[in-house]
């Protein structure tokens, strides 16, 4: 998701310096390969806090983009001392203090229409600003009538995602045992999934590789964005634009109309119900 934001900023002619967190240590890295590359900021003592503030001031940022749902309060204090705009982005549901801030004080930036609809339902009085992140275009050949596969594009390699894939595989095996499943992306149990007779796992891939990876598998349907809300994810956003029927959880609560043939699944259904809906959708297509 960081790379998607970098592409968005580059389109606007801006140089990006990335700041990532590892416990109490913050790492600075210029996205263009220039300086800084190995600079670390520590916030654990007053001396380190002062040094971190000096480093940030020397960078002379024109704006700060925050992707982390709950950044360290001390970091926010340092950035506010720079007197530069702070853009808070909604990329997951677990965003912190934005919900408690007085209405109108801090806009919330969102990378997609789905994220905007989700944010408006959660914080109706908050100013929501949509800035679409660039999405890779996936080219697929026309669907062959024979040997179609169901493609699953997970957003994160979590246990919940693994359980969902297993549940779906069980139900699809009972209903359509000859229909294969292709998991495009990483999971936390690739070997376990590959031991099943109807699943192939590609392993980690980039969004711009998705079309090339899927082309030999004749994808007939795609399931993605079925876990927790994750907005602006490159693989998910690429999959959602595919020239194939796509199933996904509808985080907009019905505010966004699905494309013809797509399956917009209620965000509140459990894994078993979601699997049944997807199997029925595939079977009647």
10-51 tens-digit pLDDT:
766 777 777 777 777 888 777 777 767 778 888 888 998 899
**Cα 37 from Cα 205, distance rounded (Å):** 25
So what's the pLDDT on residue 250?
97
Distance between CA atoms of residues 1 and 18, nearest Å: 12
Mean per-residue pLDDT, 216-245: 95
Residues 138 and 136: their CA atoms lie apart, in Å, by 6
CA 210 to chain centre: 15
Confidence (pLDDT) at 210: 96
- Residue 230: what pLDDT? 92
Average pLDDT, the chain: 88
pLDDT at 99 over 60: no
Looking at residue 20, its pLDDT comes to 77
Q: Which residues contact 255 (CB under 8 A, 6 or more apart)?
A: 117, 120, 121
Paired with 248 in beta bridges are 264
Q: What is the pTM of this model?
A: 0.88
pLDDT tens-digit series, residues 173-215:
999 999 999 999 999 999 999 999 999 999 999 999 999 999 9
pLDDT above 70 covers what percent of the chain? 94
| Least confident piece of the model among 4-8, 97-101, 156-160 | 97-101
Q: What is the mean pLDDT of residues 66-91?
A: 84
Q: Is the pLDDT of residue 272 over 90?
A: yes
Tens-digit pLDDT profile for residues 124-148? 888 899 998 888 999 899 998 888 9
More confident residue, 62 or 13: 62
- Residue for token digits 């790492």? 27
Q: What is the pLDDT of residue 119?
A: 92
Q: Is the pLDDT of residue 263 over 90?
A: yes
Top-confidence residue, 6 or 162: 162
Q: Residue 8 pLDDT > 60, yes or no?
A: yes
Residue 265: phi and psi, rounded to 5, are -100, 135
Predicted confidence (pLDDT) at residue 112 exceeds the cutoff of 80: yes
**pLDDT above 70: residue 1:** no
> CB neighbours of 201 closer than 8 A, spacing ≥ 6?
182, 183, 187, 190, 193, 194
17-22 sheet: strands from edge to edge: 17-22, 25-30, 39-42
Q: What angle do CA 104, 107, 108 make, to 5 degrees?
A: 135
What tokens were used for 276? 């049944």
């Amino acid at each position: 998701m960081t790379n998607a934001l970098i592409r968005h900023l580059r389109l606007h002619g801006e140089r990006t310096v990335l700041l990532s967190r590892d416990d109490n240590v913050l790492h600075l890295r210029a996205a263009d390969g220039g300086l800084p590359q190995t600079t670390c900021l520590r916030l654990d003592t007053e001396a380190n806090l002062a040094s971190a503030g000096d480093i940030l001031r020397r960078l002379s940022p024109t704006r700060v983009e925050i992707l982390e749902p709950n950044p360290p309060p001390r970091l926010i204090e340092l950035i506010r001392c720079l007197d530069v705009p702070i853009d808070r982005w909604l990329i997951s549901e677990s965003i912190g203090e934005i919900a408690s801030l007085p209405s109108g004080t801090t806009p919330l930036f969102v990378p997609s229409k789905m994220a905007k609809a989700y944010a408006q339902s959660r914080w109706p009085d908050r100013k929501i600003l949509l800035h679409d992140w660039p999405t890779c275009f996936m080219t697929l050949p026309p669907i062959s009538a024979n040997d179609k596969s169901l493609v699953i594009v997970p957003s994160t390699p979590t246990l919940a995602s693994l359980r969902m894939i297993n549940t779906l595989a069980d139900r699809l095996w009972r209903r359509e045992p000859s229909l294969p499943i292709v998991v495009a992306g990483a999971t936390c149990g690739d070997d376990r999934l590959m031991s099943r007779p109807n699943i192939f796992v590609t392993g980690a891939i980039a969004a711009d590789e998705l079309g090339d990876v899927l082309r030999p598998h004749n994808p007939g349907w795609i399931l993605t964005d079925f876990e927790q809300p994750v907005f602006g994810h490159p693989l998910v956003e690429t999959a959602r634009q595919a020239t194939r029927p796509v199933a996904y959880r509808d985080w907009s609560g019905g505010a966004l109309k699905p494309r013809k043939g797509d399956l917009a699944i209620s965000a509140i259904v459990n894994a078993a119900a979601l699997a049944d809906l997807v199997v029925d959708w595939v079977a009647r297509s």
